[in-house]
Amino acid sequence: MTGVRAFFDRHAFVAAESRDVGRTPLRIVLCGVPIVLFRPNSGGIAALEDRCPHRGVPLSIGHVDSDTIVCRYHGWAFDAAGHCRAMPGTRDGQPLGTPRVTRLSVIEHQGLVWVSLTPEVLLPSRIKALQENECRFRWRATWNAPIIDVQENFLDALHTHTIHAGLVRRASARRPIQASVSVVDDGFHVDYTGQPSQSGLLYRLFESRRTLERAHVSGACVTQLEFAYAAGWAAWITLCCTPETKGTTRIYASLHVRGRWAPSWLVRALAWPLLARVADQDRDILERQQHARADFDGRPYITTPLDIVRPFLEATWNGRLAEMPARRETVLSI
């Protein structure tokens, strides 16, 4: 997989939740790059590389003064564009030369802070399609696993009978379904047909007959499960995955529901304990996987036609999705 730092040059990622960014500088690591976020008096959010160009001290250990962030070491001050605005020690306090800090593009959208090294933050299509008033709850976590493995796990139906036995599916209830992968403008999606109901406890408690089950990858960092129901309602489970490093991924997840009475407090009280259990099971197996791979460093592992998502994820991260077939179909027993 191409280094995550190279991918950061072309795409936007979630850096933080809006509620976490204030007047106190916030340091985060994104694609291996330390970044500092803060709110200037003039409004909005500033995102800069977390490094003073003078002596390399992290700006995040400094403080915010009006519209600038001030380095703790020598007091150099930088605005939201990364320009040095003050340099204590000169006769008039004005900068010598034109020292700058690399600035990132930033946008707030529905409670999340998106950043990019590109001139403009381009939100993935699946994020733009979500309606804020339909959000029932959000959660976040950090998993010690590469982003591509986190995404594959979320979209992989074949592990749900074993890792989530009884909660999501039961092995005794497997039956053939058609899986179709289609490449779209900013990613790909997988349609699963032939299984209008599901055998696990989550389905029996909270769902009804499905008319659509689709998995999305949008803008590379967004993975989403979409469900539509014969009763006229729909639901989306969305993961915005941000690689801190090659081996660590931050997850910002949400559940959206449309067309059904489902107050947030009730969903959180009834559904969240079970969904949290599923998430814990996934995190555990992924982290065990990483330890095992480290023990057998360099050993190849097998990918079969059953692993329908993996080749398309790898092509996305290697910048070669356009070279993949526009459509691929297979039969799975789930």
Tokens of 252: 């910002």
pLDDT of residue 56: 97
Residue 11: its pLDDT value, please?
A: 80
Output the pLDDT for position 7. 64
Rounded Cα–Cα distance for residues 26 and 35 (Å): 8
Cα 25 to Cα 72, 179, 266, distances in angstroms: 12, 46, 35
How many whole angstroms separate alpha carbon 4 and alpha carbon 313?
13
pLDDT one-digit tens code per residue, 74-84: 999 999 999 99
Whether pLDDT at 13 is above 90: yes
pLDDT in tens, 130-185: 999 999 999 999 999 999 999 999 999 999 999 999 999 999 999 999 999 999 99
pTM: 0.93
Distance CA 150, CA 97 (A): 45
Based on C-alpha coordinates, what's the Rg of the chain? 22
Per-residue pLDDT, 49: 96
Quote helix, strand, coil % in the chain, to nearest 5.
Answer: 25, 35, 40
Average pLDDT, the chain: 94
> What is the predicted pLDDT for the residue at 2?
45
* Predicted local distance difference test score (pLDDT) of residue 297: 86
Give the C-alpha distances (Å, rounded to integers) separating 247 from 28, 244, 291. Answer: 15, 8, 11
Of 293, 329, 323, 281, the residue nearest 154 (C-alpha): 281
Whether 239 and 252 have beta carbons less than 8 Å apart is answered as yes
Please write the tens of the pLDDT for every residue from 211-225. Answer: 999 999 999 899 999
State which fold the 4-116 domain adopts. Answer: Rieske Iron-sulfur Protein (2.102.10)
Q: Is the pLDDT reported for residue 1 higher than 60? A: no
pLDDT of residue 5: 58
Residue 118 has pLDDT above 90, yes or no: no
pLDDT at 280: 98
How many angstroms separate the CA atoms of 308 and 264, rounded?
34
Paired sense of beta strands 63-65 and 46-49, if any: unpaired
List the chain domain ranges: 4-116, 131-333
**Burial per residue of 263-300, b for 16 or more beta-carbon CB atoms within 10 angstroms, e otherwise:** eeeebeeebeebbeebbebbbeebeeebeeeeeeeeee
Overall average pLDDT of the 67-94 stretch: 96
pLDDT at 298: 78
Please determine, for residue 34, whether its predicted confidence score (pLDDT) is greater than 50.
yes
CATH class of this structure's domain 131-333: alpha beta
Q: What is the pLDDT of residue 31?
A: 86
